[in-house]
C-alpha cells in the first residue's frame, strides 16, 4: 500500500474513532452547497488533536490511534466551550479538529482574539494560516507586524509566507476569514482583503512532498483566548477546481489548439482526432507522436487531460521530429492511470508525471479515472517542474541525474529546444485547453 493510500485509510479511521458521533450539519438552505462545521450548541463533528505529525499518526495501530484521539478529545473538552453560539478556547489544550476531511474546498469563518494571543488554522492537518496579535512587538521578528492571514510555515521568501496586506481589525472586533484551497494551491482573504494569492502551501511535515490529498481542518490554541463563529465549508467539485487552477496567473499563455482541427500540429496526425467535445484524443489502438509545429526552449504548458481505465500516454518535452520521446527528447512525462492493476509493478520512474526512466513523481494526486485533471509543466534549462491538480509532484534537474531505469541511455536529456506534444500508446487519452507560455 502506498503512503497516499495509508493517508486515505488513516483519515477514515480517524473519523470512525472520534468520540463525536455527528458530522457537519446541513446549511438551512436545501439548495446551498455550504455546510456548517459548528452548530452553535456543542462540539459535535469535532475531536481533539494537538500539533502532531499525521504521518506518525498513520503509523500507529488502530488501537493506539483510537486511544490517542480519545485522550486528545478529553483534553479538548477541558479547554473548549460554547457561549452564546460562539466556540471559545481558553488558549490551551488540544486543537479542535474536524471529524471530516477535505480535499478541494472553500472555508469561511470569523474569529475574535485578545492581546498577546497567537493562533492559526491548520489546513489538511498542516500548519497554518497564521493569526497574530499584530501589535505585539515581541513577535515582530517573527512577522507579527505584517499581520494575520498568511501561510506562516512556508519557507522564507516563498509566495504566501507573508500577507500581501495587513488587514487585522482592532481587538474586540470580529475578523472574517475566507480560504480557497485546491490541492496545495491556497488563497486567503482576511476581512475581504486578499492576503495570499493562489500560493503553494508547503507541507510542514515533509517539505519534499505536496500536502496530503485530504485532511482535517484544525483550530489552533496558543496561549490566549480565541473565539470562533460562523464556520462554514463548501466542497469544490472537480470542474470548478480545474477552472480555479486554470484562471490564475494567465499572462503570456497562448493557445496551441483551436478545439476544432489539428492545425499547427505535425507528426502522427492520422493517429489522433478532434472529438465533438473539442478535445484531442489518441485513437484507440493507435499511437505515435503528435507534436506542435513550433519548437520551444524554455516554456510553461497548461492543459487538461482525461484518462480512460488503463490509459497511457505521455507529454513529449523538447522532442525532435523523429524518435522515441522517452529517450530522444529531453524527456517524456508520463500520463498514466497509476492505480490500474496492470501497472502495479512498474518502476517508480514510470508513473504519472515522472520523467520517464529518470525521475519519479509523487503519487496519489490524480483525480478518479474518467475525470478531468489540470496539469502545468514548467521547463527552464535542465529543470522540470510538474504541478498536477494544484500539487507539485515533480521538481527536478535532469542534468544531475545519472541513474537510469534499466541503465538505458537518455541521449536527448540535454536538448535545449524542441517540439511539445503527446506520445500515444494505443489508448484514447484526451487533452484540451492546451496553452503555452514561452519563458524568457
CATH number at residue 279: 2.60.120.560
Q: Would residue 106 count as lying in a domain?
A: yes
Contact 91, 226 (CB under 8 A): yes
Contact 355, 396 (CB under 8 A): yes
Q: Would residue 308 count as lying in a domain?
A: yes
Say if residue 21 is in the same domain as residue 145: yes
How far, in Å, CA of 262 to CA of 192, rounded? 44
Residue 318's pLDDT is 98
What is the distance of C-alpha 433 from the center of its chain?
Answer: 20
26-40, 384-398, 414-428: range with lowest mean pLDDT: 26-40
Residue 30: is its pLDDT beyond 90? no
Say if residue 232 is in the same domain as residue 324: no
Domain boundary among 182, 207, 236: 236
Say if residue 260 is in the same domain as residue 361: yes
Q: Which residue's C-alpha cell is 438552505? A: 29
Return all residues near 29 (Cβ < 8 A) that are at least 6 apart.
none
How far, in Å, CA of 205 to CA of 125, rounded? 10
Say if residue 174 is in the same domain as residue 36: yes
Mean pLDDT calculated for residue range 116-124: 91
Cα→Cα distances 415→381, 399, 431, 439, Å: 9, 11, 25, 16
Say if residue 287 is in the same domain as residue 199: no
Domain boundary among 202, 236, 270: 236
Q: Would residue 364 count as lying in a domain?
A: yes
Say if residue 230 is in the same domain as residue 270: no
Say if residue 34 is in the same domain as residue 175: yes
How far, in Å, CA of 156 to CA of 372, rounded? 34
Say if residue 192 is in the same domain as residue 223: yes
Residue 56: is its pLDDT beyond 90? yes
Considering only CA atoms, which of 218, 231, 223 is closest in space to residue 90? 223
Say if residue 334 is in the same domain as residue 300: yes
Q: Would residue 312 count as lying in a domain?
A: yes
What does the CA dihedral 367, 370, 374, 378 come to, rounded to 10 degrees?
A: 90
How far, in Å, CA of 240 to CA of 102, rounded? 15
Say if residue 150 is in the same domain as residue 289: no
Q: Would residue 248 count as lying in a domain?
A: no
Q: How many other CB atoms are found less than 10 A from the CB of residue 358?
A: 21
Residue 5's pLDDT is 40
Residue 4's pLDDT is 42
Say if residue 37 is in the same domain as residue 168: yes
Residue 270's pLDDT is 96
Residue 360: is its pLDDT beyond 60? yes
Cα→Cα distances 19→14, 41, 76, 252, Å: 10, 16, 12, 52
- Domain tally, the chain: 2
Task: Decide the pairing of beta strands 430-438 and 226-235.
Answer: unpaired
Confidence label for 6 from pLDDT (cuts 50, 70 and 90): very low
Q: Would residue 241 count as lying in a domain?
A: no
Q: Would residue 20 count as lying in a domain?
A: yes
How far, in Å, CA of 299 to CA of 377, rounded? 8
Say if residue 266 is in the same domain as residue 170: no
Residue 388: is its pLDDT beyond 90? yes
Residue 9's pLDDT is 47
Domain boundary among 204, 236, 268: 236
- The number of residues in the chain equals 440
How far, in Å, CA of 379 to CA of 221, rounded? 42
Residue 92's pLDDT is 95
Residue 411: is its pLDDT beyond 70? yes
Residue 296: is its pLDDT beyond 90? yes
How far, in Å, CA of 248 to CA of 193, rounded? 17
Could you tell me the residue range of the domain that residue 89 belongs to?
3-236
How far, in Å, CA of 145 to CA of 147, rounded? 5
Residue 143's pLDDT is 81
Q: Would residue 244 count as lying in a domain?
A: no
Amino acid at each position: 500500500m502506498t503512503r497516499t493510500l495509508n493517508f486515505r485509510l488513516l483519515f477514515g479511521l480517524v473519523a470512525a474513532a472520534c468520540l463525536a458521533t455527528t458530522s457537519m450539519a446541513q446549511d438551512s438552505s436545501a439548495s446551498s452547497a455550504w455546510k456548517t462545521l459548528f452548530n452553535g450548541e456543542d462540539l459535535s463533528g469535532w475531536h481533539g488533536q494537538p500539533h502532531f505529525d499525521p504521518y506518525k499518526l498513520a503509523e500507529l495501530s488502530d488501537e493506539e490511534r483510537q486511544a490517542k484521539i480519545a485522550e486528545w478529545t478529553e483534553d479538548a473538552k477541558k479547554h473548549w466551550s460554547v457561549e452564546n453560539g460562539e466556540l471559545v478556547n481558553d488558549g490551551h489544550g488540544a486543537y479542535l479538529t474536524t471529524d471530516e476531511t477535505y480535499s478541494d474546498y472553500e472555508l469561511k469563518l470569523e474569529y475574535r482574539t485578545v492581546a498577546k494571543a497567537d493562533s492559526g488554522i491548520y489546513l489538511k492537518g498542516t500548519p497554518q494560516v497564521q493569526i497574530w496579535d499584530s501589535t505585539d512587538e515581541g513577535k515582530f521578528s517573527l512577522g507579527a507586524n505584517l499581520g494575520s492571514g498568511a501561510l506562516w510555515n512556508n519557507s522564507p521568501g516563498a509566495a504566501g509566507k507573508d500577507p500581501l496586506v495587513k488587514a487585522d481589525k482592532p481587538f474586540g472586533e470580529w475578523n472574517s476569514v475566507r480560504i480557497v484551497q485546491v490541492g496545495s494551491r491556497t488563497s486567503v482573504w482576511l476581512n475581504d482583503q486578499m492576503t495570499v494569492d493562489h500560493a503553494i502551501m508547503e507541507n510542514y511535515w515533509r517539505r519534499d512532498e505536496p500536502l496530503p490529498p485530504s485532511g482535517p481542518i484544525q483550530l489552533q490554541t496558543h496561549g490566549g483566548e480565541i473565539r470562533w463563529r460562523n464556520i462554514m465549508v463548501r466542497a469544490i467539485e472537480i470542474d470548478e477546481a480545474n477552472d480555479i487552477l486554470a484562471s490564475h496567473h494567465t499572462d503570456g499563455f497562448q493557445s496551441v489548439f483551436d478545439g476544432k482541427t489539428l492545425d499547427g500540429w505535425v507528426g502522427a496526425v492520422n493517429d489522433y482526432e478532434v472529438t465533438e467535445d473539442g478535445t484531442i484524443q489518441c485513437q484507440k489502438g493507435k499511437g505515435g507522436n503528435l507534436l506542435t509545429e513550433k519548437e520551444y526552449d524554455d516554456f510553461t504548458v497548461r492543459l487538461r487531460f482525461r484518462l480512460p481505465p488503463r490509459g497511457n500516454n505521455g507529454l513529449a518535452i523538447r522532442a525532435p521530429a523523429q524518435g522515441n520521446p522517452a529517450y530522444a527528447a529531453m524527456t517524456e512525462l508520463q500520463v498514466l492511470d497509476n492505480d490500474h492493476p496492470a501497472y502495479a509493478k512498474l518502476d517508480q520512474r514510470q508513473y504519472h508525471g515522472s520523467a520517464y526512466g529518470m525521475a519519479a513523481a509523487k503519487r496519489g494526486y490524480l483525480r478518479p479515472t474518467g475525470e478531468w485533471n489540470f496539469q502545468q509543466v514548467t521547463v527552464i534549462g535542465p529543470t522540470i517542474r510538474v504541478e498536477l491538480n494544484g500539487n507539485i509532484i515533480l521538481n527536478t534537474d535532469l542534468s544531475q541525474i545519472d541513474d537510469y531505469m534499466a541503465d538505458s541511455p537518455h541521449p536527448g536529456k540535454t536538448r535545449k529546444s524542441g517540439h511539445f506534444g503527446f506520445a500515444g500508446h494505443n489508448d484514447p487519452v484526451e487533452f484540451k485547453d492546451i496553452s503555452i507560455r514561452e519563458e524568457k
